[in-house]
Amino acid sequence: MKLKLFAVMLCFLSACSGEQVWTPPPQKWGEFDVHLETRPEVMGQGMNEFLVFVRRKGQVHIPDLLVKIRTSSSSWRQAMPDGALGIYRRSLLVNDMKHEKLYVRLSYHGQEGALTFELFPANTTAE
């Protein structure tokens, strides 16, 4: 009975959420695969937490990798590693999520690279 009630509540909650979660497609820098997520999952104007997932050939812990991020509304900030999980976190200001981008700088053993992620899907409109 409890399981059925939980399933009904889960269906109700998912039907009530009007906004779609969108994440930009992953990108590559050399042998690194980089994926972005936000918290909250549906961004809003103001402070948002960015999670940058970095993998190298399936390996999640990459010693000596430095990740810095910024938006058009903020300056460069170092993203902090979340343990040895290959996740780098930082909260940044977003004023206009429809037009801003997230800029990512990666530094690893003397090499530097830069990636740019859209924060809003280009083929949809915002209210």
Nearest partner of 74 among 50, 41, 54, 51, judged by Cα? 50
Encoded amino acid at 51, one letter: L
pLDDT in tens, the chain (127 residues): 554 544 444 444 444 545 678 899 999 999 999 999 999 998 889 999 999 999 998 888 898 999 999 999 999 999 999 988 999 999 999 999 889 999 999 999 999 999 999 998 874 444 4
- What domains are there in the chain, each with its CATH number? 20-118 (2.60.40)
Written as one string, the DSSP assignment of 93-107 is: EES-TTT-EEEEEEE
Is pTM beyond 0.75? Reply is: yes
